[in-house]
């Protein structure tokens, strides 16, 4: 298995390095085939602005809190005037509109709604979400501020790494966040993702993907669970400091398609 793991690492590196070499920005990635020792990483512990990737552990904590009986996914939350920020459909809704916590989670992930994220962060508590992040072993991820609102300290921002996003998705696929039923629902929500211009874009038609993107100026991220050939692959790619955001989307797509071909070769060897 060690030899197979080393072969996978070498083939993955050969597949992605031409794209990384041509990319005018900072890039980190981690990928693996679930249930095996086959994995590859490149600068996976480098810190990046989390952008909307921070919504993943917020979702995780929501489902964990529901499992613990602290909240119900059917609990209602009303939009306050101060809650509504740009980015997502809730910006167009009037104060007083009520939604369930489940609906807010779906909007937060599927259309990356920032208002939904902020309401859930308030309901769950920053401290509880931070403890959840710590329990998952996401040691280089921090929830510091709400989205689209000033930080508590000038210059502060939410942060994460490709390795931490990979870890969250790996645990989600293996049913380790709250429970198997909860993980299946979270993956189902992610599979309805509207933003598919990064990891899913150049994968073969019909391949199952459940992904979450993140974007702010100069930052383009994506992380996905991909299922094919009776196995699952996790890919997390974060990019920062690029002046060409279309090129960032392209490099994430190209790397993911190349890694998928490596995944296919190894699955078909078994």
Q: Could you write out the DSSP letters of every residue in 158-184? A: -EE-HHHHHHHHHHHHTT-SS-HHHHH
The confidence score (pLDDT) of residue 269 equals 83
Ranges of each domain in the chain:
2-269
Please, which residues bridge with residue 232 across strands? 227
Residue 265: CB atoms within 10 Å = 12
CATH 3.30.450.40 corresponds to the domain 2-269: no
Angle, vertex CA 103, rays to CA 114 and CA 52, nearest 5: 25
The confidence score (pLDDT) of residue 1 equals 45
This model's pTM is above 0.95: yes
Helices marked H in the chain — which ranges?
A: 2-22, 55-67, 101-110, 114-124, 126-135, 162-173, 180-191, 245-269
Which tens digit of pLDDT belongs to each residue from 148-203? 999 888 889 999 999 999 999 999 999 999 999 999 999 999 999 999 999 999 99
């Amino acid at each position: 298995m060690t030899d197979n793991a080393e072969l996978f690492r070498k083939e993955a590196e050969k597949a992605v390095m031409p794209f990384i070499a041509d990319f005018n920005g900072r890039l980190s990635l981690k990928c693996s085939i679930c249930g095996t020792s086959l994995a590859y990483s490149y600068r996976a512990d480098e810190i990046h602005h989390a952008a909307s990737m921070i919504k993943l552990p917020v979702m995780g904590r929501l489902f964990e809190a529901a499992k613990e009986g602290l909240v119900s996914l059917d609990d209602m939350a009303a939009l306050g005037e101060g809650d509504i920020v740009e980015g997502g459909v809730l910006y167009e809704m009037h104060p007083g509109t009520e939604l369930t916590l489940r609906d807010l989670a779906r909007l937060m992930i599927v259309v990356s709604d920032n208002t939904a994220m902020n309401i859930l962060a308030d309901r769950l508590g920053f401290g509880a979400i931070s403890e959840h992040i710590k329990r998952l072993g996401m040691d280089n991820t921090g929830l510091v501020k709400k989205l689209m609102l000033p930080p508590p300290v000038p210059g502060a921002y939410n942060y994460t790494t490709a390795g931490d996003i990979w870890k969250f998705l790996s645990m989600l696929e293996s049913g380790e966040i709250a429970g198997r039923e909860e993980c299946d629902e979270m993956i189902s929500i992610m599979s309805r993702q509207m933003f598919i211009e990064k990891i899913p874009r150049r994968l073969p038609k019909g391949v199952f993907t459940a992904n979450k993107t993140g974007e702010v100026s100069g930052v383009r991220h994506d992380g996905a669970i991909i299922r094919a050939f009776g196995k699952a692959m996790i890919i997390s790619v974060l990019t920062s400091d690029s002046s060409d955001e279309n090129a960032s989307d392209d490099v994430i797509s190209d790397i993911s398609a190349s890694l998928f071909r490596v995944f296919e070769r190894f699955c078909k060897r078994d």
